[in-house]
Structure 1
């Protein structure tokens, strides 16, 4: 829950003895950290960074000038979205965002790596595609969806986990890390010639069930950026 504050240092704004999250509403990586904090229910100060016109002081917070960045109560600075989200999950275990066993955590990390390799990278290739390459890039993205569909089917088939989320009935760390990218299908659909949709067939059924559960959950909708603002923010990736 973001908190109001007038605390401003001589160098950059932050919450004294509290958490400060530097973020951008349309950045899918930044949404990971914001969603983790929101689900943990801990007070934090939210500082929005305009990535097209960054504040003159932001290089002091993060020399790479990327989001998200977290300033902890001790003054330590953390960067990288998954590192920040995992820090929040470990710091506030009552939120139950992460599995407790080492094996379950390892399987979760493998799933997130699979998602990054087969979905996230494919998004950007589609959005950047020219008319000549669009069809091939759309098919590669669908191939990635099939990979994730298979991973979800396998995971739900193990033990008593029947979904619709990675940890069963709860929106947790897997969804914190992926929800904003599931939302990017709307961006891909907007910029694709002929649109883009994950087919409603058996080979995509697990993925569609998971994505539908994500987009219906308050943990997603409470952090979700406006669709048209999100779409507009990706225009810069389109070929001239």
Structure 2
């Protein structure tokens, strides 16, 4: 019996969630190995060229192969595994999807600052940046429920972890980022209900994210409904 794939993970990493969602969508058996990125084990540093997650361990006849970078992992799964197709068949549409995946990565870069900054002015600036970027997405979306319509794609797997942040942020502050964006809001709701998206994180995700915000003394915690 062939050993399963192993996804080396961190509990909060949105890039890990992309890969986990893709694995679940394709119905591929896999195991999870969680590491502490603040205290990276030596075995992890030996196999991760960038010192980041996710990694995908792929058993071979002799030893194993290691893939790093979430986009690479997702593309490999799409090219080698059965199950649902997560990229469009048309080359031009597929290329456009890859562009929107990169756009999703740029949103994550803004989110990192938004959630970790201790400065109120920076927080507000990033809030406006995020609202502008989601307005750009609003103009691209159709009738849904997913990015490209009825079929779930890798673009959906990229944006699902983004929206998951806001499930926690919504309990902290009235940020207004999705105000006036009905298609984005409907997309967010559809992704939250998707089984593969739910399975991409552990049940204590929200608690872990709140602990992360407190550890960083995030300005976000000082703006709204609950006390840090």
Q: Note closer, same or farther for the CA distance 1:190–1:64 as it changes in structure 2 (3 Å cut).
A: farther
Pairwise CA distance, 1:30: 0.9
Equivalent residues in 2 for 1:23-172, closer than 5 Å: 23-74=9-60, 75-117=64-106, 119-127=107-115, 128-152=117-141, 156=142, 162-172=143-153
C-alpha contact 2:127 2:177 (8 A) present in aligned 1: no
Pairwise CA distance, 1:148: 1.2
Equivalent residues in 2 for 1:170-181, closer than 5 Å: 170-181=151-162
Whole-Å separation in 1 of the counterparts to 2:91 and 2:82: 15
C-alpha contact 1:112 1:174 (8 A) present in aligned 2: yes
- The structure showing larger relative contact order (alpha-carbon pairs under 8 Å, at least 6 residues apart) is 2
C-alpha contact 2:86 2:153 (8 A) present in aligned 1: yes
Q: 1:229 pairs with 182, 190, 208, which one?
A: 208
TM norm structure 1: 0.78
Q: Considering only aligned residues, what root-mean-square deviation do their CA atoms show, in Å?
A: 2.4
Q: 1:185 pairs with 147, 161, 166, which one?
A: 166
Pairwise CA distance, 1:50: 1.8
1:210 aligns with 2:187: yes
Deviation track 1:101-138 (CA, whole Å, cap 9, x = no partner) reads 21121110122222333x22221222215023332221
C-alpha contact 1:171 1:217 (8 A) present in aligned 2: no
SS class of match (1:94): coil
C-alpha contact 1:122 1:141 (8 A) present in aligned 2: yes
TM norm structure 2: 0.82
Deviation track 1:173-198 (CA, whole Å, cap 9, x = no partner) reads 1111221111112454466xx44233
Q: Note closer, same or farther for the CA distance 1:109–1:34 as it changes in structure 2 (3 Å cut).
A: same
The number of aligned residues is 213
C-alpha contact 1:108 1:174 (8 A) present in aligned 2: yes
Q: Which runs of 5+ in 1 are unaligned?
A: 1-14, 157-161
